[in-house]
């Protein structure tokens, strides 16, 4: 069933705005500096502050990430019942469109892509229009931002999968049709998977983990729902290699 909250194979939010501006400029429309600022600045009330830090464009509070390879953890208003009023966390013991009760477990690592190549950290640092709340955001250079704690329920893959998963949004390095990613991103995906496997039979950030490194437990968005091409053909074709590399890291570097 489609997940209406997270059609994340669509273009990112900031893309159309910038494209519209470029089209306007190319057509010879006079655009003032203020016009540029208005055209490229999101609508949130705190947007008067210029971006200060590319790893924290919204100036969010941050914390030492649970995932040790992450550059930082941001206190993004994501993964809550209502991100406009971020007080109650979305519960990992609630699953499905009918909201039935489950016993929380992390037993899936689910790979997504952004579907757009321009940086999405600003979009993912606020109560965004897709209610997208991945656990991790993975950039072209392989750097990772932890957007919600791994114990928190992501909102990335649909109600039948969010409760049992951690999810990564991989910033696409090229557009359609391949949506390629970089070698650094492929390596980092394997590193994340190997790290998650070290928690098998234990708990991660308060949630029990049952996770082994194989293609049952490492899946992509399109493997949960045929209505999306996420994470694109390039990443999809490399899943077996990502899993093999993760197993190598797990056996030879982490244990
Ligand atoms: Zn996806």
**Which pLDDT tens digit goes with each residue over 150-165?**
999 999 999 999 999 9
- Cα 230 to ligand 1 centroid, rounded to whole Å: 5
- Cα 170 to ligand 1 centroid, rounded to whole Å: 9
- Cα 156 to ligand 1 centroid, rounded to whole Å: 6
Any domain includes 8: no
- Cα 63 to ligand 1 centroid, rounded to whole Å: 26
Range(s) of the domain holding residue 228: 14-254
Any domain includes 2: no
Q: What is the mean pLDDT of the chain?
A: 86
Any domain includes 7: no
Look at residue 193 and tell me whether its pLDDT is greater than 70: yes
We report the CATH number of the domain holding residue 103 as: 3.40.80.10
Any domain includes 234: yes
Q: What is the largest CA-CA distance in the chain?
A: 62
The sign of the CA dihedral 137, 140, 128, 65 is positive
Query: Residue 70 gets which letter from DSSP?
Result: S
Do strands 94-95 and 62-63 pair parallel, antiparallel, or not at all (unpaired)? unpaired
- Categorize the per-residue pLDDT at 74 as very low, low, confident or very high, splitting at 50, 70 and 90: very high
- Categorize the per-residue pLDDT at 49 as very low, low, confident or very high, splitting at 50, 70 and 90: low
- Cα 48 to ligand 1 centroid, rounded to whole Å: 31
Look at residue 20 and tell me whether its pLDDT is greater than 60: no
**Cα 128 from chain centroid?**
12
Read off the tokens for 14. 């900031």
Give the per-residue pLDDT at 8: 44
Between CA 170 and CA 166 the distance in angstroms is 13
Any domain includes 100: yes
Any domain includes 154: yes
Give the per-residue pLDDT at 21: 39
Any domain includes 1: no
* Count of the separate structural domains present in the chain: 1
- Cα 123 to ligand 1 centroid, rounded to whole Å: 15
Residues with Cβ–ion distance below 5 A, ligand 1: 8, 112, 221, 230
């Amino acid at each position: 069933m489609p997940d209406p909250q997270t059609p994340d194979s669509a273009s990112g939010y900031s893309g159309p705005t910038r494209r519209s501006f470029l089209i306007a400029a190319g057509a010879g429309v006079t655009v003032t500096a203020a016009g540029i600022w208005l055209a490229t600045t999101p609508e949130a009330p705190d947007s008067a502050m210029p971006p200060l830090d590319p790893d924290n464009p919204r100036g969010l509070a941050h914390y030492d990430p649970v995932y040790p390879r992450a550059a930082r953890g941001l206190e993004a208003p994501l993964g809550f019942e209502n991100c406009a009023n971020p007080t109650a966390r979305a519960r990992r013991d609630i699953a499905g469109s009918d909201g039935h009760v489950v016993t929380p477990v992390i037993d899936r690592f689910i790979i997504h892509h952004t579907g757009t190549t321009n940086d999405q950290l600003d979009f993912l640092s606020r109560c965004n229009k897709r209610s997208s709340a991945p656990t991790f955001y993975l950039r072209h250079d392989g750097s990772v931002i932890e957007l919600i704690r791994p114990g928190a329920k992501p909102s990335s893959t649909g109600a039948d999968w969010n409760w049992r998963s951690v999810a990564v949004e991989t910033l696409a390095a090229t557009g359609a049709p391949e949506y390629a990613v970089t070698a650094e991103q492929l390596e980092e995906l394997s590193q994340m998977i190997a790290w998650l496997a070290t928690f098998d039979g234990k708990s991660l950030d308060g949630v029990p983990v049952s996770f082994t490194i194989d293609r049952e437990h490492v899946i992509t968005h399109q493997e949960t729902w045929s209505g999306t091409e996420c994470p694109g053909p390039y990443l999809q074709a490399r899943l077996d290699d990502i899993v093999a590399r993760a197993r190598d890291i797990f056996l030879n570097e982490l244990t």
